[in-house]
Structures are given as C-alpha cells and as structure tokens.
Amino acid sequence: EAAINRIAAGEVVERPASAVKELVENALDAGARRVEVTIADGGKTLIRVADDGHGIAAGDLPLALSRHATSKIDGTDLLNIHSFGFRGEALPSLGAVGRLTITSRVAGDAAAEIAVSGGTIAPVKPAALSAGTVVELRDLFYATPARLKFLRSNRAETQAITDVVKRLAMAEPGVGFTLRDTSGGGEGRVTFRAEPETGDMFDALRGRLTRIMGREFTENALPIDATREGFTLTGFAALPTYSRGAAVAQFFFVNGRPVRDKQLIGALRGAYADFLSRDRHPAAALFLTCDPHLVDVNVHPAKSEVRFREPGIVRGLIVSTLRHALAGAGH
C-alpha cells in the first residue's frame, strides 16, 4: 500500500517545483492575499508555503491529508471548476514523498498542526500561528532515492520553482508574493517579491507584468481585449520591435491557470508570422477565459496541457486579435 501510494504520489509530484505549485495553488484557493514561499537547496530539503487564507479547522486537518478528500467541489459537476485544486491529491501525495507538517488557524479558533512522514500521520496537536496556513515539506523524496537521483541541480530546481511562483503571481496580480531562499542558512534572501497590485484589472496586470517581465515589456506591449464565440482574450502582447533576444517570454493562462500549450504558442507565432526570426520571439502574457465546459485544463494533474473543444475558434481569436492590434499600432 505504502509503495503504491508513493508511486501514485510521484505522478503528482515530479519535482520540487510541482510541490510548490500545488501548495501555492492551495493558498490561492484559500483566498490568501499574501503568499510567502521559502525554499532551501532547490526545494529538495525545504519547501515552506505560508498564507493568510481562511485556514483549516483543527478537526479537518486529518481529512486534508486523506486521498481524494477535497473541500472544493461536491462531485456533481467535475467540469465546472473554479478553484485550482479539486482532486484532493496534493497533500496526501506530498505526505507520501516527504516530511510534511501543516499548521493552520481558522479565525476565532486555536491553531493546530498535523505531521505526516512517509505516509504515517501523527495526531493533531496544538500549535502557535497567528492566522492562515503554513505547509512545510522537508526532505522531498527522501523515501524514494531513485526519484531523488533524477532531480536536477539545486540551481535548475530553484529556477523551476521561481518560474512556477512568477506564473502564479501573474495569474493573481491582487495577491502579494515572496520567494525566499534560505540555502545559505538563517533568514536567507528574498529572490522575488511582488506587492499586491491595485486598480482595475488592466492596471493591476500591467503593474504585475512590469514587476515580473520588466518595464521594457509593458512599455512596448499592447493591451488586448477581445471576445469571440464564448472565448475572451485579455492581456498584453509586445510590439514586434520589442525583443528579449533568444529569451522566450510567452505566458498563457486559461481560466486563470498558467498553462504551457503547443496550440496556444503556435497561435501566437501565427499572429507574429511576419515578424519572426531565429532570435526574435513574440512576447506576450495572454489570458483566455471561457465556460469551463469548453476546455479541459486537467488532462494531467502535474502538467499544464489544455484541451479545447473548439481549437479552431481559439486559434482564430488569438491570431486575428493580435494581428489587428499590431496593425493598429502600425505593424
């Protein structure tokens, strides 16, 4: 049983960055306004995610660790999902592949914690925490050395974690994010920080993108806002004259979730077809929203592929909207 659980867990948690993704998504689902991520050694020895969300009641802590327990859907409409999580797999998986401690406090209650290591759950006990939830994962994959061996260098794993945090920070401009690396010991150093953005949706997004992609990008990007046949495309797309050299800066979000999808990247390239060269890639952060029934964003729990019911409409919307915007700006 324990071995099977570990194998299943490995499907959800491939590497430290996937653990960070699951934990930050949980914080966002809990309505956090601030999320603080702390890592050490590329997340291999420590991943800690602290949030100021609604917390988990002491009595619900064991439930949060049991497989397929989720507080987020009632099972009647699996396709109609508005939260990041819905499978109830992340915490049990993390508890199977590392040493996991969850400390949480619901407003008006006392704080409590639960620990699980190698799948063995300790009883809930009182803890000290002013608000929200802190999930700490130590020694990821300590029980599966084969898996540990496949992880990349601390530097590469840290980069993957940074990418995950930045993508989620783009998806939620109103939430403050901090990424701290304590590899050197002590308080460590903050490697990424984004204060909560205010203003309307475009202002907030512009602010957040400036923080993450740089002022060069936002000063050379066109705001995008178009709707067609149930799909809405918003965000910013850079002028063809903006260049990050060979660095690729293409970010897609479907119904608020960061995705990496060949079709979407292909549509972006299609829109910029006249301006592409070997060292010039289109740069954009684009948010596609639609009825959840028109897209499956959960083809695989650990990956970020999407499957559209009508891929042609999506491609057409992206290509024509961006071409129109570029033409309007004289390109």
| C-alpha to C-alpha distances, 315 to 231, 285, 287, nearest whole angstrom | 11, 15, 13
Stretch that binds ligand ADP, among 88-96, 109-117, 184-192, 205-213 (CB under 6 A): 88-96
**CA–CA separation, 152 and 313 (whole Å):** 39
Stretch that binds Mg ion, among 26-34, 58-66, 191-199, 232-240 (CB under 5 A): 26-34
**CA–CA separation, 295 and 287 (whole Å):** 14
> In the complex, what is the shortest distance from the CB of residue 89 to Mg ion, in angstroms, rounded to a whole number?
8
Exposed (0-12), middle (13-18) or buried (19+): which is 188, by Cβ within 10 Å?
middle
Q: Establish if 90 lies at the interface with Mg ion (CB under 5 A).
A: yes
Size of the site for Mg ion (CB under 5 A): 3
| C-alpha to C-alpha distances, 173 to 84, 121, 128, 245, 291, nearest whole angstrom | 16, 36, 30, 26, 22
> In the complex, what is the shortest distance from the CB of residue 27 to Mg ion, in angstroms, rounded to a whole number?
9
> In the complex, what is the shortest distance from the CB of residue 70 to ligand ADP, in angstroms, rounded to a whole number?
3
Sequence-ordered list of residues with C-beta below 8 angstroms from that of 292, at least 6 positions apart, any chain: 79, 80, 81, 82, 255
**CA–CA separation, 50 and 27 (whole Å):** 8
- Phi, psi for 169 (deg, rounded to 5): -65, -35
From the list Mg ion, ligand ADP, none, pick the one residue 70 interacts with, judged by a Cβ distance below 5 to 8 Å according to partner type: ligand ADP
Q: Establish if 45 lies at the interface with ligand ADP (CB under 6 A).
A: no
* Residue of closest CB approach to ligand ADP: 85
Here the tokens at position 72 are: 């987020």
Stretch that binds ligand ADP, among 10-18, 64-72, 267-275, 315-323 (CB under 6 A): 64-72
Q: Establish if 86 lies at the interface with ligand ADP (CB under 6 A).
A: yes
Task: Kindly tell me which residue out of 26, 144, 218, 220 binds Mg ion, with binding defined by CB under 5 A.
Answer: 26
Q: Contact 46/38 with Cβ under 8 angstroms?
A: yes
Q: Establish if 90 lies at the interface with ligand ADP (CB under 6 A).
A: yes
Q: Considering the complex, state which of residue 104 and residue 158 has its C-beta at the smaller distance from ligand ADP.
A: 104
Interface mask toward ligand ADP for 127-156; x: CB under 6 A: ------x-----------------------
Q: Contact 182/41 with Cβ under 8 angstroms?
A: no
> In the complex, what is the shortest distance from the CB of residue 67 to ligand ADP, in angstroms, rounded to a whole number?
8
3-state SS assignment for residue 290:
strand
Residues that bind ligand ADP (CB under 6 A): 22, 26-27, 30, 51, 53-56, 64, 70-72, 85-91, 133
Residues that bind Mg ion (CB under 5 A): 26, 85, 90
